[in-house]
Structure 1
């Protein structure tokens, strides 16, 4: 088994290269070390053809980013750069009726910095206000709704398209930091491919373990927590940063370990996977009881 430690291994980085596509800022998914060298064959493959890359939305300071969740979609990711000590505010404001945005702000190594449901200026809108960024790096914003943040969408979410705007203020790029690139968003992460097994952890300091999952078009895969000493949660995103699958407890085994089964891969490339704990966002609470633990993750071809 292979084990990656997010906080102590600077070579294990998920690099999301900026792209400007149809006037919208996004971040292309590839992988490399800070010096540009590829740490392994998996990474070299991910840096190959353009079709192997994905993209997530990138937030420019003080500029609202209009987005939507289509019927059946429960969450979507955004990213921005920040400098240690920046005091930032992130808002998610609904522009369609019936949507109650819920935001989680996460750090470069899976830290949960803050979360919010209804603190925005408009009723039901979200605002994470005046948060001090702890380190230089790239930050991830997950936008969902209160009923879907750690579970599949509600019946209402399955039916209608929900539109909203996200904006960040107060942040600036950490120019001069050796791990900063004007063209890159960097997250510490682990790698896994079909047939792989790896160990990881979730802790109060780093509740979310980011994985870079490589798969081939036509694969039908199972993603499973084989062992864990806590109540796990897995979240899989497509190559545009939209959540496609989420599981808390595997119904086939009847325990607290998670499994996402029968995932059909429509495009060769790498997909972002979160391994964390149920109600992971509460790790940001001052009086949190979040503990986390260790786990073993495997990815295999789905059994027929």
Structure 2
């Protein structure tokens, strides 16, 4: 079911993937077929977004293998409108490594990989004592005829300071994408409240690193990122979702509903 954007300013957000094309676009790492990259989580970053362009019918394999013994990898494959397509925890060749194997891409377009840890997928936000290194690989994709490997197009709603939006997430699209332009040193507070489900907020920086998150604010099931100081100028991406969003691929998932989102 498609969302109804009745009172919202709806925006198709072009996010630069792997190239810097101006101050109004975040920069994600874009993966091509056969790529294997080395990256790491450090300090307050325990999740990162990567992008790729694929064609309908491509059979893809995405693997995340830890180089640090303390790291338990977790992978989520997302569609460009907030669809959770599949996830994996421990299916890799190395013990505790993650691997999404032989997944058939449903349509031409842009996709996101959320690379994180088993502990951090629910928004656990702790400062890492040591960097956690990993390898991420992607195989099986072909670029659509009219595809653009330098950009990824997301369906996102634009936010401005003072925003007060009533929104809905559903099983087909359990993550609501929102974005805003910010500047270094700016303090932002983001609130997500719902009577229907246990909320979860992620905040990603312009490079795709998750820089803040919150699950239960003050022992409630609502979420709040309070007084967060933005580290740089650029466009920031918010995931507004349910605590159990990774289970939306299951038929009996009931984690969606209406919510109120505000930003100051």
5+ long unaligned stretches in structure 1:
19-25, 31-49
Secondary structure of 1:241's counterpart equals coil
Secondary structure of 2:128's counterpart equals helix
Distance 1:290 1:160 in 2: 37
Summarize the Cα distance change of 1:27–1:273 in structure 2 as closer, same or farther, 3 Å threshold: farther
Paired residues of 1:89 and 1:169 also in contact (CA < 8 A): yes
- Which residue in the other structure is 2:64 paired with? 92
Select the residue among 137, 153, 162 that pairs with 1:195. 162
Paired residues of 1:280 and 1:290 also in contact (CA < 8 A): no
Distance 1:266 1:182 in 2: 27
Distance 1:248 1:129 in 2: 29
2:106 equivalent to 1:134: yes
- Which residue in the other structure is 2:255 paired with? 291
Q: Structure 2 matches for 1:143-162, cutoff 5 A?
A: 143-153=115-125, 158-162=128-132
The structural deviation recorded for 1:27 is 5.0
Secondary structure of 1:225's counterpart equals strand
- Which residue in the other structure is 2:216 paired with? 249
2:241 equivalent to 1:269: no
Summarize the Cα distance change of 1:136–1:200 in structure 2 as closer, same or farther, 3 Å threshold: farther
The structural deviation recorded for 1:274 is 0.3
2:126 equivalent to 1:163: no
Select the residue among 127, 133, 144 that pairs with 1:174. 144
Tell me the C-alpha RMSD between the 2 structures.
2.1
Paired residues of 1:106 and 1:141 also in contact (CA < 8 A): yes
Select the residue among 193, 197, 217 that pairs with 1:230. 197
5+ long unaligned stretches in structure 2:
none
Summarize the Cα distance change of 1:160–1:238 in structure 2 as closer, same or farther, 3 Å threshold: same
- TM-score, length-normalised on structure 2? 0.90
- TM-score, length-normalised on structure 1? 0.79
Summarize the Cα distance change of 1:5–1:162 in structure 2 as closer, same or farther, 3 Å threshold: farther
The structural deviation recorded for 1:68 is 0.6
- Which moves more between the two structures, 81-90 or 52-61? 52-61
The structural deviation recorded for 1:269 is 2.4
- Which residue in the other structure is 1:278 paired with? 243
Summarize the Cα distance change of 1:128–1:138 in structure 2 as closer, same or farther, 3 Å threshold: same
Paired residues of 1:282 and 1:290 also in contact (CA < 8 A): no
Q: Structure 2 matches for 1:207-222, cutoff 5 A?
A: 207-222=174-189
Paired residues of 1:52 and 1:267 also in contact (CA < 8 A): no
Distance 2:123 2:185 in 1: 26
